[in-house]
Structure 1
């Protein structure tokens, strides 16, 4: 155990109260009072068109792939510098994965490198809002419109992040794609241990998404009295989490502003003080583009060389602070590297070798952090 771990889940103190309230309702399976409260919160707060709680962001991505009816004849463009779930959801459908490089200034997908990857078989583009920082959305949306591609925002770490459009609007991340997915894993700003959300912004998929979420049945129509029994009508699965999970999540959502304020204080302390404290160990600070309003999920440094990164990890360990690297490039993974036929993805490979994440969590005491660094 490290005195300062990489992450510690935030507990509001109201979680058990809500779980007991769910129990008192006499329903702990999926789609009860707390599931509906959470889904309504996302739709009303962020303007998401229709939402579905899931067990994980992984499952939300798998739902999106299933709803698009993707298969072996289809290509999906996605960033290499991402978690494996981004790829698995489409690999499970037999799709051909086409990996894109990251930007040189920050780890989001390089919008300038996408168009050359599009072919007649391309059906969807998946982007990742890395660490809660927006991709450059207007050029990406233009490409999707030009080539008729479905857009999936993998916003796993991006809840309460925004894209600042040219017209001045602040657009919530997850509100611009046909689909978007979020994670409520314990490392995320809002957490219920494991959990996720599928956002469906394209109205043509509303009904189908409900069927898929209900194991491929027309259960919702049955519960509304529109049919006499519910039946298997298409492929689906048990994507919906229990009311226990939703009740815990609701406590977090009630405290979203407090959690964000606490995380912002930690992030901003790093940004203001770290260079002076670390001195020769310091690398490049995070870049937040002018078109992004971040959500304080991740603080990272990009070191000059992998040896510098490893030296900083060791230095922080000696001070009782756990820091970690991040993704391994998917195109170079043991599973995929023999199938990859594209060009080297130099920026993604740079972040793979040189990016280091520092602890960011709501209850991190920056005074203790400073004392540990100076000890």
Structure 2
């Protein structure tokens, strides 16, 4: 059986976990938490990085930092994971869903401005499969209307737009280190704060609403409850595992790109025959090889392909369901028409992608797909 995903262990992670235990501080913000934060700040130029227990928690911190209140509106793509919007709904926001672009699951930037109202308090973009949205267009809209931009960069570690790292455009950006991502810690995430005015409060929110971080830096002589917050700080054990991954980032990325390119090369003929569509890569964006997906011609084609591949020992999976059609959203909102989001909901199929996937296995998967269509 070829699984869809297999968490990667470079080897040094276990040594670092053992070292974290020896250091005697496991609750977070210790040696390895700081090493991970410094890594991202130095490599990508992020102004401030705070590790979190998940990307979901990073997004929840973003919603608190932006003072989202009941009745506020937040713009988001519909084709995304529920955490993207749930973080803002928890603060009382109403979501205005925007369609995907016709050629790619990313948000259709041309539709963002049509959804801005006097109640709009944030614009969220999701870099699907680690491929950048058109950030020149989107940041221009954000600045024109003075609305904060939030990047859901869960899938976008080590990915760039015109040479600038994703996660550096928004006032706030959230990353994921879930076991299905390129760089992992089992469960884990990261909030990037690019607006310097939000840094101090972000530290407080992450520390359960206390100024504990300031206390440990010697900036105050005691710490107490100064704001709302929650327990968003991950364990040192998670950070130690993550740091072992970061030390192998270039190797991991090179291997994933090799696998991605093998898929693309093998499946081009099926695209030329009109059986499937392959991922679109834009001139302005890099490919971090987070996933390889194909677009089938119909939901029936996709369902049949999933079953046939399963018979051949290959586990492939579809992805998001359009959130504008979800039971929860429709409890209080009318159904809207977002055809591109629905197209990707019905036809996008993700293929196995993980470090230890061999090129021979990729060839077998591609041969099996071709045989299914034949």
Report if TM-score (shorter chain) is over 0.5. yes
Instruction: Please report the TM-score for the alignment, with normalisation by the length of structure 1.
Output: 0.95
2: CA distance between counterparts of 1:371 and 1:355?
Answer: 20
Structure 1 residues without counterparts, runs of 5 or longer: 165-169
TM-score w.r.t. length of structure 2: 0.96
Q: Per-residue CA shift, 1:172-191, capped at 9, x if unaligned?
A: 00001000000000100001
Structure 2 counterparts to residues 1-375 of structure 1, below 5 A: 3-164=1-162, 170-276=163-269, 282-341=275-334, 343-371=336-364, 374=367
Give the drift of 1:281. 9.0
CA contact 2:296–2:347 (8 Å) conserved in 1: yes
How big is each residue's C-alpha offset from its partner over 1:341-370, in whole Å with a ceiling of 9 and x where there is no partner?
363001001000111111111110121332
After superposition, the C-alpha distances for 1:148-205 in whole angstroms (9 at most, x for unaligned) are 10000000000001001xxxxx010000100000000010000111000000000110
**Equivalent residues, number:** 368
Q: Are the structure 2 counterparts of residues 325 and 269 from structure 1 closer, same or farther at C-alpha, using a change threshold of 3 Å?
A: same
Q: SS at 1:347's partner residue? A: helix
- 2: distance between equivalents of 1:245 and 1:369? 31
User: Is the CA contact 1:320–1:372 (under 8 Å) kept in the aligned structure 2?
Assistant: no
Are the counterparts in 2 of residues 281 and 308 from structure 1 also a CA contact under 8 Å?
A: no
* Shift in alpha-carbon separation, 1:139–1:317, aligned structure 2, 3 A: same
Divergent runs of 4+, >6 A: 277-281
Work out the CA distance in 1 between the residues paired with 2:137 and 2:69.
Answer: 27
| Corresponding residue of 2:371 | none
Question: Aligned with 1:294: secondary structure?
Answer: coil
Residue 237 of structure 1 deviates from its aligned partner by 0.8
Name the stretch that deviates more: 342-351 or 149-158: 342-351
Q: In the alignment, which residue of structure 2 is the partner of 1:167?
A: none
Say if 1:162 and 1:173, in contact at 8 Å, map to a contact too. yes
For structure 2, the residue ranges without an aligned partner over 5 or more in a row are: 369-374
Cα distance per residue 1:224-269 (max 9 Å; x no partner):
2232211000001110101000000000000000000110011000
What is the CA deviation profile of residues 307-335 of structure 1, one whole-angstrom value per residue up to 9, with x for unaligned ones? Answer: 11111112211211111000001110111
Distance 1:42 1:177 in 2: 16
